[in-house]
Structure 1
């Protein structure tokens, strides 16, 4: 699996050989994002999350698949590739500036947008956890430029997982502004205009990679991986190494009204950590929030490149349901299935923020922690039943669900996953029937694609 953490320098355009048969209705493009360059010369980035962003485009139509890949052309990539220099701070890598240089460099923004993408409606953006996105051409993947900063909702950290509000279609996200009293600032976006929705002040902000939305609410799950913002200036450490695991704080669930931004519930439960929410919905005076939950934040350290390339044990997340009572803030939890689950996806458009049945993701075959994520998983969140796809020596990525036109069943459609074949040293695009979890087809890519994070499908 080390090929998944090896730099890819090739940029190609190719028609892919297809084994099996693609559904005749499958037409559109899948664009995936992820890190693809981890070093230049003897200089190396330190963490999986630090690799320089590359987009991968798979186009489907008439039973055929074409592929192209391209780096995002950013100042951080240019410095690393052309100058052999790490000039911008990453998630866990720092240029090692002095405190005085840090003070003068505070206006610099790292635009290594290697986490996710938004497609369509003139929003073809690559996203990371800084508030400025990178625009790209959805056909050629060429970098177009940066989105304009919005000074009305300024801050340093956001999520690469904005949500579409189920009832209004607004794009919803938050920006965290560090300060003596830091502020979580929720907003909704209509076209190019951001409108403030709610704010929450905090002395010790937590690291939140994603959040939840329902038809009527927005939910922040604030894990006890927290930071004193002064640490960024005084400690001289990379971004994430300023955070501290404080389990005595517990995990805080704050539920906001989408109507007026008021806090309608604020409860705490035992400490845990998560990168990804699965889904959430309103139910009889409660909010149901499903996440991929870890017992603590040790997974962040486990994903440093020297550890993950060295076959260190990998902490596993499990699908877990947290129910927040809107009357008293009481939080209850239960595990939804025994299989590990990460990089979760659902049938998003009809079920985002609403009651649902199926979640899809990646997991660990046999519950093993001595390998990387090596199987695909489907979970029935109502019954706990699971389905898995696993082939020895193959490592699948996030499965993107694409619904069959006019689907009658929630799992009526296919899953698209980029799979690394470690023995062959190359990847393929795997197509599974989402209902039966059986293979329909695979399209062979001419090289190994480094392990990525997230992607989106746009029909045509």
Structure 2
């Protein structure tokens, strides 16, 4: 079999994860094989795209599909499942009218020049919140890169509505990865304000869930970078500006989809904007080697040095590689490598070193105890033998101390983001960083179905799986909520 033929055969298997899921499932109990831990009680919520066309018109990119949330309720070793589309102006146009009405990451419907001129800067631009899930106090919200969170009920998955911020912070672009401050519990994030004098505005939200953002600091920039996530430590926020940047007026006047306006400028290098969390002052802007990343793994500081761990690509070609035509066509998929950047603000230096020989994406850690602090283990998805002719086909546990890895792989199966759930203290448990389980939704090509997989986080051996009656499209991120609906656990 030629390389092209092998690529098409593999593509035919994982393309099930890129097909629309039209059915919404009312809560149904799933058959479980194996044994889930007695202490594992709560709800895994997953978010991701599930509708990839409107009538005869298709979206261009994996990131453009309409948001669907999936619920796995775990109780006493039993698992109940449901799924539902989020109800937004964008999804209503696609699902009910059969047309694309609003701009997405890489898809833009035909508009007049007048409409194109104003749409990118409208605060009320409709959101397709298909990336992540977070807690705003007692509220559960779905997030994307538009600063318009959409609240939904975690029990029924019914959409409540857009959360309107009670402030004047503004901004048109944010991340779907807010951080919980390891000291105060505040949610910290930033928005990019595009204008003649563009700037990043770092803010916090109090843990009581009040939809008001308080400005922590700002940093002016001529050409804003595309940054899908950022880093936080006990004392600093670090914005990692990859050299994928945009002229703000190109967004206004080009008439092209959002991401196509950005340009790769490796001569800029990667810039690390180090901001003090308390006073908001920019302590340093350091320059490192050019690279690109969607996701941070973790960050912390030791003395005067800061350490930033990223899932790093050589360049931004992965964005086009994740377009639906490229994925469905079996084109090469670049690999993200776990990489540590050591920053020394006083000396003005940045050094980079690989953390492992395995590729790693969609990373998770024991978040509650180790976010912004030293840690040892990360969990993610990867590609077996770092092959570029397949999709994410294995789960990886990485020891960032020595680069060792444990792998889970099953032929013809494609796992999504692994969510670490820490075991509760007591009952003879040692409270180690990897004492818990890892949960992932896995697509099985042979049966055109998916299952919820539970691994022992320490040994990475399978504990149980719960069979879903259909294929779950490839998603992005999610959270596990304890029965008391505490914040994201891990």
TM range (shorter): over 0.9
Aligned partner of residue 230 in structure 1, secondary structure: helix
Q: Is the contact made by 1:131 and 1:149 (CA closer than 8 Å) also made in structure 2?
A: no
Partner of 1:9: 22
**2:389 corresponds to 1:370:** yes
> For 1:168-223, what per-residue CA distance to the aligned partner results, in whole angstroms no more than 9, with x for missing partners?
11100001000112110000111313211010000000000000001111100000
> Of 192, 210, 226, which residue of structure 2 is paired with 1:176?
192
The answer to which of 187-196 and 19-28 deviates more is: 187-196
**2:281 corresponds to 1:268:** no
Partner of 2:215: 196
Partner of 2:7: none
> Of 429, 433, 442, which residue of structure 2 is paired with 1:419?
442
Distance in 1, Cα, partners of 2:218 & 2:61: 31
The answer to which of 261-270 and 245-254 deviates more is: 261-270
Partner of 2:9: none
Residue 408 (structure 1) shift: 1.4
Distance in 2, Cα, partners of 1:259 & 1:120: 21
TM norm structure 1: 0.99
Partner of 1:212: 231
Aligned partner of residue 372 in structure 2, secondary structure: coil
The answer to which of 369-378 and 99-108 deviates more is: 99-108
**2:43 corresponds to 1:20:** no
Q: Which aligned pairs between 1:49-448 and structure 2 lie closer than 5 A?
A: 49-105=63-119, 106-107=121-122, 108-119=124-135, 121-190=137-206, 191=208, 192=210, 193-406=212-425, 408-448=431-471
Distance in 2, Cα, partners of 1:167 & 1:151: 24
Distance in 1, Cα, partners of 2:149 & 2:66: 14
Aligned partner of residue 23 in structure 1, secondary structure: coil
Structure 1 residues not aligned, in runs of 5+ = none
Q: Is the contact made by 2:116 and 2:253 (CA closer than 8 Å) also made in structure 1?
A: no
Corresponding residue pairs, total = 460
Q: Is the contact made by 2:71 and 2:82 (CA closer than 8 Å) also made in structure 1?
A: yes
Residue 151 (structure 1) shift: 4.1
Structure 2 residues not aligned, in runs of 5+ = 1-13, 484-490
Partner of 2:486: none
The root-mean-square deviation of aligned C-alpha atoms, in Å, is 1.0
Distance in 2, Cα, partners of 1:332 & 1:10: 49
Partner of 2:488: none
**2:472 corresponds to 1:449:** yes
Q: Is the contact made by 1:278 and 1:344 (CA closer than 8 Å) also made in structure 2?
A: yes
Distance in 2, Cα, partners of 1:85 & 1:410: 48
Aligned partner of residue 434 in structure 2, secondary structure: coil
